[in-house]
């Protein structure tokens, strides 16, 4: 479950499309359009495992 930091809308991964750019992983909230930071917790060389930290 992912929560938008701006509007507090809760979504599952199938409802959002995580992306990556030079600033890192993120998803744009489908409701308000806010950018929300994600962290890759996978070991180097493994497939990305994205999570959202509770305090960011």
In tens, the pLDDT along 6-39 reads 999 999 888 899 999 999 999 999 999 999 999 9
Whether 56 shows a pLDDT value over 70: the answer reads no
Pairing of strands 35-37, 39-40: unpaired
Which has more pLDDT, 37 or 56?
37
Residue 34 to residues 13, 45, 46, 48, Cα–Cα distance (Å): 16, 30, 28, 22
Instruction: Average the pLDDT over 46-54 and give the result.
Output: 91
Q: What is the pLDDT of residue 33?
A: 95
Whether 55 shows a pLDDT value over 80: the answer reads no
Q: What is the pLDDT of residue 13?
A: 83
Domain boundaries, the chain: 2-51
Tokens 């509770």, located at residue: 54
């Amino acid at each position: 479950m992912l929560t938008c930091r701006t509007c507090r809308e809760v979504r599952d991964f199938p409802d959002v499309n995580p992306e990556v750019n030079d600033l890192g992983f993120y998803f744009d909230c489908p409701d308000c359009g806010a950018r929300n930071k994600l962290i890759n917790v996978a070991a180097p060389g493994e497939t990305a495992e994205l999570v959202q930290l509770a305090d960011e």
